[in-house]
Amino acid sequence: MSTANIKSPAELFDDFIKLEWQDIFRKEVDVFLPNGSRYVPNSGSQGVSLLRKNVNAFDEAIRLWSGPTDEPENSTEGYDRIVDQAGIQYTWEWFLIDESRPWSSAVPALVRERIEADLARRDKNALVRAKAAAAEAHRLAEEEDSRTIALMNAKRADEGKPPLTQEQTAVVLEGRRERRAEKA
């Protein structure tokens, strides 16, 4: 086989990022913008610099993570959106250091260490945000349940009937929980 056909790690990562990474968001994983439309990383002025045509993705990734601090010079909302909704394993950083990828061994140790630490931190933060969102959703559901029971009891009082018993209240609440679970 001719050595002219063998691609460097930088070329392999650049090909992956520009030819395959975006398709993962189109076909495999659901990440959404606040307006409900599908998020797909782009190369626009506010987008992912690695996707720009005049940039080698590998070289740019190494440059971003080789700075004087342990974080890249900038981060986008898309990065947090990916981590929160799909997981760290869909970020370009994950793919850069994924040891099953042919370019992984070319990543400098300092860059690898920085990315691993950042991904661990972001993963932890995403878990904290998810737990807070779940707790808030639970609180709102309980408030709605309480309002519903109060409305039912008010209607029963208007009709001259006694309020719901504990058993009846439990049945109503269970039905509401089941309907919420079906929607989720």
Domain shared by 140 and 111, yes or no = no
How far, in Å, CA of 103 to CA of 135, rounded?
41
Domain shared by 68 and 136, yes or no = no
Q: What percent of the chain has pLDDT over 90?
A: 43
Among 106, 127, 148, the domain boundary falls at 127
Residue range of the domain that includes 112: 3-127
Domain shared by 155 and 116, yes or no = no
The token duo for 64 is 């971003």
How does DSSP classify residue 19?
I
Domain shared by 18 and 70, yes or no = yes
Q: What is the pTM of this model?
A: 0.69
Domain shared by 151 and 107, yes or no = no
Domain shared by 121 and 169, yes or no = no
Please name the amino acid found at residue 167: E
How does DSSP classify residue 51?
G
Domain shared by 73 and 121, yes or no = yes
Among 107, 127, 147, the domain boundary falls at 127
How far, in Å, CA of 47 to CA of 42, rounded?
5
Among 127, 158, 175, the domain boundary falls at 127
Domain shared by 74 and 89, yes or no = yes
Please name the amino acid found at residue 16: F
β-sheet bridge partners, residue 32: 38
How far, in Å, CA of 58 to CA of 96, rounded?
8
Using one digit for the tens of pLDDT, what is the confidence trace for 64-116? 898 776 555 555 566 788 888 888 899 999 999 999 999 999 999 999 999 99
C-alpha dihedral sign at 49, 51, 55, 59: positive
Domain shared by 74 and 37, yes or no = yes
How far, in Å, CA of 98 to CA of 112, rounded?
10
Count: domains in the chain: 2
Domain shared by 29 and 114, yes or no = yes
Asked if residues 53 and 106 have their Cβ atoms less than 8 Å apart, the reply is no
The token duo for 24 is 């993962």
Domain shared by 104 and 147, yes or no = no
124: phi then psi, degrees, rounded to nearest 5: -65, -45
The token duo for 113 is 């260490």
Average pLDDT over residues 60-67: 90
Domain shared by 120 and 152, yes or no = no
Question: Taking all residues of the chain, what is their mean pLDDT, rounded to a whole number?
Answer: 86
